[in-house]
Amino acid sequence: MRNIKMVLEYDGSKYQGWQKLGNTENTIQEKIEKTIKMIINEDITLIGSGRTDAGVHAKGQVANFKTNSEIELNDFLYYLNVYLPKDIRVKDMREASERFHARYNVKKKYYVYYVYNDTFQSPFYRKYSYHVPEKLNVENMNEASKLLIGTHDFRAFTSVKSKKKSTIKTIESIKINNSTPIISIEYTADGFLYNMVRILTGTLIEIGNGTRDVNSINALFDSKNRADAGFTAPAHGLFLEKVIY
Amino acid sequence: MRNIKMVLEYDGSKYQGWQKLGNTENTIQEKIEKTIKMIINEDITLIGSGRTDAGVHAKGQVANFKTNSEIELNDFLYYLNVYLPKDIRVKDMREASERFHARYNVKKKYYVYYVYNDTFQSPFYRKYSYHVPEKLNVENMNEASKLLIGTHDFRAFTSVKSKKKSTIKTIESIKINNSTPIISIEYTADGFLYNMVRILTGTLIEIGNGTRDVNSINALFDSKNRADAGFTAPAHGLFLEKVIY
């Protein structure tokens, strides 16, 4: 059986996220699976590198699926982009080794969160950035971000309450770029917990607007209590940028 | 009477252009006039630096209007941005001299046209750039653009057939920036005829894709015939960038 790896981009505005749900068709996984079925007349299961929440965007989501079809990949890519909705685009398709698994084999993920930091939101960025009207102190956010880097128990930074799975992750880097009025925060880690990037961002924004102390970060690793961390920054400012295997 | 000058941004996707039309409310001028009326309870007439066509965007449209209201401008700006649709934003409002007229006093205008030059269009640029899948020869487009600079009769580059108005304009510069896959073409002139930027762009694209010769430009100034110039590039790739007085 062929194992096909694809890289894709999507504007998540109109979707209920990546992952297929029971009673709706409005997920990205489902749109792509149905379009593939239309093209090769085969039911396939698309495995994403991970879920993205409702409203989250992607510039480099990776997925794989197995198929018996012998369709030429260039044709496949072409038909997919013709039949998929315009807010989903397949950038690349190639053969992967039989053992490649888009979720299990992830080495590193990059997420970028965009904040539009000006009195009024721009018509062009309103769907792709979170509007914060009060001026943020980016220096303090930078300082705080350094405390987040490294291997920590990020339990306070996830909305999942199950205690079964490990909540220890390693953040390799957080790069904050202040290109007025847009502040971008790029997170690189070996993986992220559910809602983790959005809660990290909410926490950094609270530090930027002065409602939270830079040094409060360390206490969060000890408290392990979601309620002590910042708010969950909204989905529409978040992009899954890249996945490394 | 106060004369107020405003700078505004809009995503033109959902509008029938700037200019008020008889039987529709769906123009940018009308949206702003109605919102102003709601705030200061006064019928004003908004004068734009020029019309933008249906679907054309603006990052720096300028307009002025006269009013008897004594409202403080900071409050006015705030309320406008609260009540206007999210795809229109007023960036700046200030008092202008009594004689300032947003259309008559224009010295220079900047327009930028964005081409997305890749096999498939990006979900994020689909509303803000024109998709050209075949690889364009930017060097040839650059060469041709040099022939367009200067004072010429641009009659072949406008869809208006009236011969009353002068069709002589001066293009000060055309800057083509190739930041793969996005090619931006910035036009600066003392003014533009109806559809002129879009026809100039269509002509340059035809030169880029090889269906038209670089040197065919000069003949267009002589022919003065719209049918001899290139196609009218679609509205959604065009931005009114800046107006200078």
- At residue A151 the predicted structure's pLDDT band, cuts being 50, 70 and 90, is very high
User: For residue B119, which residues of chain A lie inside 8 Å, CB to CB?
Assistant: 81
Q: Give the mean model confidence (pLDDT) for residues A155-166.
A: 85
Evaluate whether A208 touches A148 at the Cβ level (below 8 Å): no
Interface of A with B in 88-107 (CB under 8 A): 88-91
A18's tokens: 């990546």
Per-residue model confidence (pLDDT) at position B195: 94
- At residue B237 the predicted structure's pLDDT band, cuts being 50, 70 and 90, is very high
What type of residue is B138? V
In eight-state DSSP terms, residue A147 is H
Q: What is the pLDDT of residues A47-84, one digit of tens each?
A: 999 999 999 999 999 999 999 999 999 999 999 999 99
Q: Give the mean model confidence (pLDDT) for residues A109-134.
A: 96
Min Cα distance A38 → chain B (Å) is: 20
Of B90, B91, B128, the CB nearest to A124: B128
- At residue A123 the predicted structure's pLDDT band, cuts being 50, 70 and 90, is very high
Instruction: Report, in angstroms and rounded to the nearest whole number, the Rg of chain A calculated over CA atoms.
Output: 19
Give the other-Cβ count within 10 Å of A34's Cβ.
14
Beta bridge partners of A92: A7
Per-residue model confidence (pLDDT) at position B120: 93
Q: Give the mean model confidence (pLDDT) for residues A11-21.
A: 91
pLDDT at A21 over 90: no
B9 touches chain A (CB under 8 A): yes
- At residue A213 the predicted structure's pLDDT band, cuts being 50, 70 and 90, is very high
Beta carbons of B86 and A57 less than 8 Å apart: no
Distance CA A119, CA A45 (A): 45
B173: Cα separation from own chain's centroid: 16
Per-residue model confidence (pLDDT) at position A164: 78
B120 touches chain A (CB under 8 A): yes
Per-residue model confidence (pLDDT) at position A46: 96
* Residues of A recognised as catalytic: 53
Give the other-Cβ count within 10 Å of B193's Cβ.
20
> Average model confidence (pLDDT) for chain A?
95
User: For residue A123, which residues of chain B lie inside 8 Å, CB to CB?
Assistant: 9-11, 86-89
Of B119, B123, B128, the CB nearest to A9: B123
Q: Give the mean model confidence (pLDDT) for residues B42-70.
A: 96
Q: What is the pLDDT of residues A170-202, one digit of tens each?
A: 999 999 999 999 999 999 999 999 999 999 999
- Transcribe B209-233 into DSSP letters: TTSS-TTHHHHHHHH--GGGS----
Distance CA A133, CA B18 (A): 28
Per-residue model confidence (pLDDT) at position B159: 87
Distance CA A18, CA A104 (A): 17
pLDDT at A157 over 80: yes
B118 touches chain A (CB under 8 A): no
Could you give the residue ranges of the DSSP H alpha helices within chain B? 28-40, 73-83, 138-148, 196-208, 216-223
Q: For strand A130-131 and strand A108-116, is the pairing parallel, antiparallel, or unpaired?
A: parallel
Q: For strand B2-10 and strand A238-244, is the pairing parallel, antiparallel, or unpaired?
A: unpaired
Which domains are delineated in chain B? 2-96 (3.30.70.580), 108-244 (3.30.70.660)
Distance CA B241, CA B144 (A): 22
> Average model confidence (pLDDT) for chain B?
95
Distance CA A231, CA A234 (A): 9
Q: What is the pLDDT of residues B167-226, one digit of tens each?
A: 999 999 999 999 999 999 999 999 999 999 999 999 999 999 999 999 999 999 999 999
Task: Give the residue carrying structure tokens 């926490």.
Answer: A203
pLDDT at A161 over 90: no
Buried/exposed code over B107-126 (b: 16+ C-beta within 10 A; e: otherwise): eebbbbbbbbbbebbbbbbb
Beta carbons of A123 and B81 less than 8 Å apart: no
Task: Give the residue carrying structure tokens 């409002």.
Answer: B93
- Tell me the helices (H) and strands (E) count for chain B, helix number first: 5, 10
